[in-house]
Amino acid sequence: MKPIAVNQHFDFTGGEAVAHQVHGFATNLAWEDVPIEVRERVKLLLLDLIGVLACGSETEVSRIVRQVAVDHYGPGATSATLPFDGRRVSPTGAAFATGTTIDAIDGHDGHRLVKGHVGCGIMAALLGFADDLETDNGTELLTALLIGYEIGTRAGRVMHESPLTGPQYHSSGSWVALACATIGARLMAMDVATFRHAVAIADYHGPRSPIMKVVANPSMLKDGSGWGAMTGVSAAYMARAGFTGAPSNILESAPIQPYWADLGQNWEVLNQYVKPQPVCRWAQPATQAAADLKEHHGFEAADVAGIEVETFEEATLLSQRIPNSTEEAQYNVAFPLATLLVKGQVGAAEVTDTALFANPEIVRLAGLVKMVVRPDLDHKFPAERWAVVRVTLRSGVVHSSEPTEARGDPDTMLQPEEFRAKFHLMAGNELAQEEREELIWLVDSLDRRPETWPRIRQLLNGRRSSGE
């Protein structure tokens, strides 16, 4: 085997200048200088993440990781409260548990080109930092969340588009760690030298999880967002304490420096997608197409004798087995499609109700699904995700959809009232009606009434006094 040269691919010429630019953006950005469309989108994304967090807190995954955080990442000189739990742990433990809790229900936002999720990890980091640093200015926290989206999206694109990181498809945790460290730099008012160390540590220690293994074998591992958040939060505290790191490949390497040139000009937060359904985004073009067919032609699930889905290759690699767990239900294509045809919707209840996994009609329809890679649709991935669904009825009639994308992409974004309706559905079991209505108002008015953040945090602490 040919030995690898020590300095192969490590050209940081110009890296210091880029680090200064990114640091300046992260530490100097003022909310009032952000376009109104961007500000409004950040608030809607925050509301969406709160809803998914509330829903995720009801899962077995959340129960496990919250207890692990209490047992192994307890509070010390720093501490934060576990959302919808009430117990105190370290900020790193809170970021781990909160990120994993959001990730437990696959309903959070994402970005097509990063093939993953920015909001999940940065929300977890933000809550941990804000609690420990006693940062309760809502405008400042909205700004920090926006910075996380801008840094995280670019870091994810570098990870998946640059030859420096290799051909493997890594989980969101691998790159969102840099965004979490940058949020820490903002809230800790780091100088540029400390900031460079923080992102370097996050880059070096970010979990390079091979996500396609989990696509093929769904489990509680999911997208690694909790580990990425924990890594990024740890990196910020380590850098503040004086720990050093080598320059960040993702930030300072010469070949990828152009990714950072448009900070503050091209707002990547507007390029996030928002999921109408809590299942893998790759499955949603097919479920959208099936929903459209059912609505247009008015057939019943019992009428269906065959289902064919033409789509991109990655979607065909999702599980087509009948699930035995919520993780298998979410990383699936046949089950949500069949559930949509039988139940008329795919929400949190549909992917967590184990009784549905044995529903005879859902099992029958899922068994009919045939997945086919269509070359023209495959060529468009990941920038575009399309599917064509062909339903054959018992009568012999065939209904075929047009090539379909899922709603919630940047050009088919959900309307504000749809964000609110989704929030009520996702948070309905954890928060009372009046609490949900209050949270909607609080988040919407947060930049006009920044002093209301403590009330938001109080509601996020939930009604539990323990992890039970």
DSSP string, 246-282: PPPHHHH-GGGGGGGTTTTTS-GGGGEE--SSSS-GG
Beta strand pairing call for 369-373 and 304-311: parallel
Would you list the domain boundaries of the chain?
15-273, 281-406
pLDDT at 8: 52
Per-residue pLDDT of the chain (468 residues; tens, 9 = 90+): 444 444 556 789 999 999 999 999 999 999 999 999 999 999 999 999 999 999 999 999 999 999 999 999 999 999 999 999 999 999 999 999 999 999 999 999 999 999 899 999 999 999 999 999 999 999 999 999 999 999 999 999 998 887 666 667 888 999 999 999 999 999 999 999 999 999 999 999 998 888 888 888 888 888 999 999 999 999 999 999 999 999 999 999 998 999 999 999 999 999 999 999 999 999 999 999 999 999 999 999 999 999 999 999 999 999 888 999 999 999 999 999 999 999 999 988 899 888 889 999 999 999 999 999 999 999 999 999 999 999 999 999 999 999 999 999 999 999 999 999 999 999 999 999 999 999 999 999 999 999 999 999 999 986 544 444
Separation of alpha carbons 451 and 437, rounded Å: 18
Paired tokens of 25: 């953006």
Q: What's residue 9's pLDDT?
A: 63
Residue 259 to residue 138: CA distance in whole angstroms: 29
- 201 and 239 Cβ atoms separated by less than 8 Å: yes
- 382 prior amide bond cis, ω within 30: yes
pLDDT of res. 305? 97
Other CB atoms within a 10 A radius of the CB of residue 346 amount to: 25
Q: DSSP 3-state assignment of 106?
A: coil
Q: How far apart are the first and last CA of the chain?
A: 53
Query: Looking at residue 468, what is its pLDDT?
Result: 46
Task: Write down the CATH number for the domain with range 281-406.
Answer: 3.30.1330.120
pLDDT of the residue at 219 = 87
Contact 118, 272 (CB under 8 A): yes
Q: Are strands 387-393 and 398-400 parallel, antiparallel or unpaired?
A: antiparallel
pLDDT of residue 211: 83
408 and 273 in contact (C-beta within 8 Å)?
A: yes
Query: What is the dotted CATH code of the domain comprising 15-273?
Result: 1.10.4100.10
Q: What is the pLDDT of residue 465?
A: 40
* 3-class DSSP assignment, residue 4: coil
CB 155 within 8 A of CB 179: yes
C-alpha separations of 346 from 182, 336, 337 in Å: 35, 6, 8
Q: Among candidates 159, 204, 154, 210, which has minimal Cα distance to 179? A: 154
The answer to whether 294 and 285 are in contact (CB under 8 A) is no
What φ, ψ does residue 34 adopt, rounded to 5°?
-90, 135
The Cα diameter of the chain in Å comes to: 72
The pLDDT of residue 364: 96
- Between the alpha carbon of residue 72 and those of residues 88, 92, 233, 354, 466, the distances in Å are 12, 11, 16, 31, 16
The pLDDT of residue 160 is 86
- What pairs with residue 399 in β-bridges? 391
With a CB cutoff of 8 Å and minimum separation 6, the contacts of 348 are 55, 105, 107, 278, 425, 426
